[in-house]
A and B are shown apart, each in its own frame.
Chain A
Amino acid sequence: MSRPGFVLEVDDRTPPLLVHEGLGFRMEDFPLGTRVVYPPESLPTVPDVDEAIREALLNPTDSDPLPALLKAGMKLTIAFDDVSLTLPTMRAPDVRQRIIEQVLTMAAAAGVDDVELISANAFHRRLTTTELEHIVGERVFRSFYGQGLLTNHDAEDHDNLAFMGKTEKDEHVVMNKRAAESDLLVYVNITLVPMEGGHKSVGVGLSAYNSLRHHHNNDTMVHSTSFMDPPNSELHASAWRMGRLIGEHVKVFQIETSVDNNVFPKPYDFFMKREWEWSVRDQASMLAVRRGLSVAPQRLRHKIFHDLRAPYGITGVNAGAVEPVHEKTIAKVYEQQAVEVQGQSDVLVMGVPYLGPYNVNSSMNPVLATCMGLGYYFNSYRGAPVVRRGGAVILYHPLDEGFNQLHHPSYVDFYEEVLAETTDPAVIGQKYEQQFADDPWYIHLYRTSNAYHGVHPFYMWYWAAHAMDHVDDVIWVGGNRRAAARMGFRAASTLLDALEMASDTVGPSPSITYLHNPPHLIADVTP
């Protein structure tokens, strides 16, 4: 049975509530009256994933069945979402592997020889071979990787980018040449949160700087309210224009999947339960895990958390034309994640967990933590932000993980150089973005090593731009003071201290809302 999400009001019967904070969590006694938004429980999953995939491929939405689109002698490209999905990494076999295997089986039956697979990582880091293999599975990996037919998209390989034209708003559309020149482009997606999928899959995942800069910027993001609500998101409007333009030239067969809320494996499943329903075993696990983490060195904690594999179940598989498919997918995602919340509050509390899309197998540096809290979590609303304009946001994260030099070289410079000067996303964009985007060393590392593109930290900051524009105060509970100050925020050691500090902004007895995620939730706020 799947229970809906709901809003708890903390009363004297409420046990302490779990709050994630990086490589750990704490049990917080929230002030009485605090509203706590709980995500719905996992929806029923499809009983047989392989059968659901076959069904979707054979009976697609607004499209001929996939086998009818496959012909001998054609050029077929399969693009797929990269390692930033799902979070945490899905327990093997990954659903993308299952889909790709079926697509390839059909392609083999149709006698298609020219097949390439591309990880649609845009400006994300190149995936390691292990990561690629996890996504596509051993069989696909062995068949394609050695031949160089399973690759990462390279947004700086200008010889292999195709200019597709300009949208009606004069936006350049550039995409992977191989994908653009294919007779059929199959995109294999996981829509973990509502911002993903649809035209964003091909339009963003396979594009390059000249396209990205049109929607990955401060202005667009401030006007994406929120980017988790595509109809109200400038980001998506732009991606949709681009996607439609691409659709005029390239035949795209979109396969989208949605997952349930089953994020944490045992014995960490208590993370997903409602605290007053914790059994003695859950309470004991909580105490044991807390103790263990308190003595474990950072590296071990990192390993413990990053080795978790999510036991996600698949709630839906849809295939066919991009837009109708995405409509179905996103309806399912909202069904899984949406919670109705009445009215905004003065203070929004969120726990930033150990993982975001950009630190898979890496460290959650302060910039990424900000993006996670003020970007992804803050924007997880429809209607109106959970916190009122001019309110305060309280985040939990120690901000102490430092920077991964392999994955985030430009982040270090962004943090030390750019943020030391200004934290205003608009100024940052104008003054520094171009330098970082053109920096040959970052480009070199992006193309040859496993580094995010030089301009990527800017995108993280733009992601948080809407939140920074909307609220007046951001306080990190348990956060490193210097890191918080560098980013223009403040740090407090406890929630009560943070509320005390925020009282300048929101008064002595503010209304408080705590978003109890992960698992992910979308707050449907009626102002």
Chain B
Amino acid sequence: MSGRGNRSPLIRGGVADVKQAARGFRWGRRSQVPRSAEPFVPEATSTVFRSDWSRRKPAIVAREAVQKAGLEPLFRSQVRTSVRGLDVFDGLKGPVIFAANHASHLDTPLVLLSLPDAWRRRTAVAAAADYFFDTWWRAVGSSVLFNTFPIDRRGGAMAQTPGEVLDEGWSLLIFPEGTRSPDGWMHNFRMGAAMLAHTHGVPVVPIAHQGTFAAMPRGRNWPAPGRRLLTIRFGAPISPRRDETVREFAARVKDAIAALLDEETSTWWESQRRVASGSTPDPEGPQVAQWRRLWDQTEPLADEPEDRVFAWSRRK
């Protein structure tokens, strides 16, 4: 009782003010516009939070600590990974654009933690501004943890464009589908990644992975129990040709990822032959009943026999 009464007005009033502001300004939630004020509020052109700070030295140091000491052990405790194709980094110079299929929130940590450390430290992740950057805490959290920067799925102006990030020497991880797959199969690619590679003249490293949808699909916020296996395969970098349009190049990126997915279930040689004959299985999956599409994708990946040895593989 007396302790409460004796607190200085500085603190007492401060607590009241903060409570009022937290409630009134909806801290931690989306801010709202009073209904009657809506006609007078311009369409949000840039309601996203800046993220350039997350590519400065202090944030890089913090991220390294968080990823190595927190994210990685946690990630490995929940899933197993099988990484293939790391040989593509031999002689490769950054920056590059990593283009991967997208099925789960596990994709980002999977890709980042599969990258060689030197590459991981110089890779930024494109994240939907409207999802990851609309509250300060989500923006800060994802920026620190994954080095995300905002891109607009609806095509608005950003505080800092992906091109600028690229120009600063950062490799980008982009999921060209723009959103997580609802059924684990690949969906239409947007032009963004191809466009960036095209205009900035950087190569695209295709990445195919499987198992994240089965482990943690949309709607789940923690991987399914049982340390499921996730596979990831890096493909050879591809650069836009001089006479190639963005659209053509985008198709080529998609095909490369489809081939990598094919390779996952067969062998490199078989997949190459199917590429040559144009019979790579459609990464978008068979046009069958939705339950069958899901059924296929949720089947746990079978462990490869322990005695098979692959070049450039890493399993943990």
Contacts and interface: CB of A to CB of B under 8 A. Distances in A.
A4 B40 contact: yes
Interface residues of A, number: 28
A283 B10 CA distance: 17
A294 B9 contact: yes
A9 B36 contact: yes
A283 B13 contact: no
A13 B35 contact: yes
B157 interface: no
Nearest to B33: A276
Residue among A6, A276, A277, A287 with the most chain B CB within 10 A?
A: A276
Nearest to B136: A280
Given A9-B34, A276-B34, A283 B21 contact: yes
Contacts of B26: 15
Given A4-B40, A16-B24, A290 B31 contact: no
Contacts of B21: 16, 27, 283, 286-287
Interface residues of B, number: 24
A142 interface: no
B17 interface: yes
A21 to B, nearest CB: 14
A513 B35 CA distance: 17
Interface of chain A: mostly helix, strand, loop or mixed:
mixed
B24 A3 contact: no
Given A3-B40, A6-B37, A8-B36, A276 B31 contact: yes
B28 to A, nearest CB: 11
Contact of B35 (A1, A9, A295): A9
B287 interface: no
A310 interface: no
A276 B17 contact: no
B9 A15 contact: no
A13 B25 CA distance: 9
Contacts of A3: 40, 42
Contact of A277 (B8, B9, B35, B41): B41
Residue among B24, B26, B32, B39 with the most chain A CB within 10 A?
A: B24
Nearest to A1: B42
Given A8-B34, A10-B34, A276-B32, A27 B20 contact: yes
Contact of B36 (A1, A7, A287): A7
A44 B57 CA distance: 41
A297 to B, nearest CB: 13
Q: Which 4 A-B pairs have the closest CB atoms?
A: A13-B32, A16-B24, A15-B24, A9-B36
Interface of A: 1, 3-4, 6-11, 13-16, 27, 29, 274-278, 280, 283, 286-287, 290-291, 294-295
Given A11-B36, A290-B13, 6 more contacts: A27-B24, A277-B41, A283-B25, A287-B14, A287-B21, A295-B8
24 contacts: A6-B36, A6-B37, A7-B36, A10-B34, A11-B36, A13-B32, A13-B34, A14-B24, A15-B25, A15-B26, A16-B21, A27-B17, A27-B24, A29-B24, A276-B34, A276-B37, A283-B21, A286-B21, A287-B14, A287-B21, A290-B13, A290-B14, A294-B9, A294-B10
